[in-house]
Chain A
Amino acid sequence: MNEKVLKCDRWLERGGPAEAVVVSTRARFARNFPSLPFPRRAREKDLCAVLERVAAAIDHQPEFAGGARFYMASLSELDRQYLRELHLISPEMEKLPKHRALFLSADLRQGVMVNEEDHLRVYALEPGLRSYEALQQVIDLETSLARELPFAFSPQFGYLTSCITNTGTGLRVSALVHLPALSIMNRMRQLVEWLRSQGMTARGFYGEHTENHGGFFQISNEVTLGKNERQIIELFSRVLEEIIDREERARRELASNPQLEDRVWRAYGILTHARMISTNEAMELLALLRLGVVADFFPRLTHAEINHLAVAIQPSHIRAYLMTQHQEHEEQEFHEEERDRARAQLLREHLRKAL
Chain B
Amino acid sequence: MDEKKICMVCKKALATVKVTRLVKGQVRETWMCARCALKRSHYHTMTPQAIISALIKKEGQQAARLNEDDERQCPTCGLPLRSYRETLFLGCSDCYAAFEEAVVHDLRRYHGSVQHCGRTPENDAATVEPRLAIRDLQRRLEIAVRREDFELAARLRDEIKRLKAQIQETESSSAKKEQ
Q: Are A233 and B92 in contact, CB atoms less than 8 angstroms apart?
A: no
Q: A132-B128, A226-B114, A227-B118 known; 7 other A-B pairs, CB under 8 Å?
A: A32-B93, A36-B92, A36-B93, A150-B121, A156-B114, A168-B118, A197-B39
Would you call B113 and A229 a contact (CB within 8 A)?
no
Cβ-based interface call for B133 (8 A): yes
Give me the interface of A with B, judged by CB distance under 8 Å.
17-18, 20, 32-38, 40-41, 131-133, 135-136, 139, 143, 146-147, 150-165, 167-169, 171, 189, 192-193, 196-197, 201, 209-210, 222-230, 233-234, 237, 241, 244-245, 248
Q: Are B116 and A169 in contact (CB-based, < 8 A)?
A: yes
Question: Residue of A at shortest CB range from B39?
Answer: A196
**Judging by beta carbons under 8 Å apart, are B111 and A224 in contact?**
yes
Let me know if B112 and A226 touch, CB within 8 A: yes
Bound: A28/B103 CA distance, A: 23
Selected A-B contacts with CB under 8 Å, 13 pairs: A17-B137, A17-B155, A18-B152, A35-B92, A131-B133, A139-B127, A156-B114, A161-B90, A168-B116, A192-B41, A223-B110, A226-B116, A227-B117
* Interchain CB contact under 8 A, B94 and A225: no
Confirm or deny: B68 has a beta carbon within 8 angstroms of a beta carbon on chain A.
Answer: no
Q: Verify if B44 is at the interface (C-beta below 8 Å from A).
A: yes
Which residues does chain B contribute within 8 Å of A162, judged by CB atoms?
89-90
The interface residues of chain A lying within 8 Å CB-to-CB of B124 are: 143, 146-147
Q: Pick from A37, A139, A150, A196: contact of B92, CB below 8 A.
A: A37
**Bound-state Cα–Cα, A233 to B119, Å:** 13
Q: Does B179 contact A (CB under 8 A)?
A: no
A157 and B139 within 8 A (CB): no
Docked complex: B28-55 residues within 8 A CB-CB of A: 39, 41, 44-45, 48-49, 52
Q: A129 → chain B, closest Cβ, in Å?
A: 9
- Docked-complex contact A146 and B121, CB < 8 angstroms: yes
Give the CA-CA distance A73 to B97 in the complex, in Å. 34
How near does chain A come to B101, taking the closest CB pair, in angstroms?
Answer: 13
Are B96 and A17 touching (Cβ within 8 A)? no
Are B121 and A38 within 8 A (Cβ)? no
CB <8 Å contact, A157 and B116: yes
Do B93 and A34 have beta carbons less than 8 Å apart? yes
Query: Which residues does chain B contribute within 8 Å of A229, judged by CB atoms?
Result: 118-119, 126, 128
Q: How far, in Å, is A245 (CB) from chain B's closest CB?
A: 8
Chain B interface (Cβ within 8 Å of chain A)? 39, 41, 44-45, 48-49, 52, 76-77, 79, 88-94, 96-97, 103, 106-107, 110-121, 124-130, 132-133, 136-137, 139-140, 143, 147, 152, 155-156, 159
Q: In the assembled complex, which residues on chain A have CB atoms less than 8 Å from the CB atom of B119? A: 139, 169, 228-229
Cα A210 to Cα B152 with chains together (Å)? 32
B91 near A133 with CB under 8 A, answer: no
Query: Chain A contacts of B129 at CB under 8 A?
Result: 230
Question: Given the complex of chains A and B, what is the CA–CA distance between A168 and B119 in angstroms?
Answer: 9
Q: A163-B89, A225-B114, A241-B136 in contact; A230/B128 too (CB < 8 A)?
A: yes
In the complex, which residues of chain B have a beta carbon less than 8 angstroms from the beta carbon of A234?
132
Residue from the list A156, A161, A226 in contact with B111, Cβ < 8 A: A226
Residues of A within 8 Å of B112, CB to CB, are: 223, 226
CA A163 to CA B86, docked complex, whole Å: 12
Q: Which of B45, B93, B103 contacts A152 (CB 8 A)?
A: B93
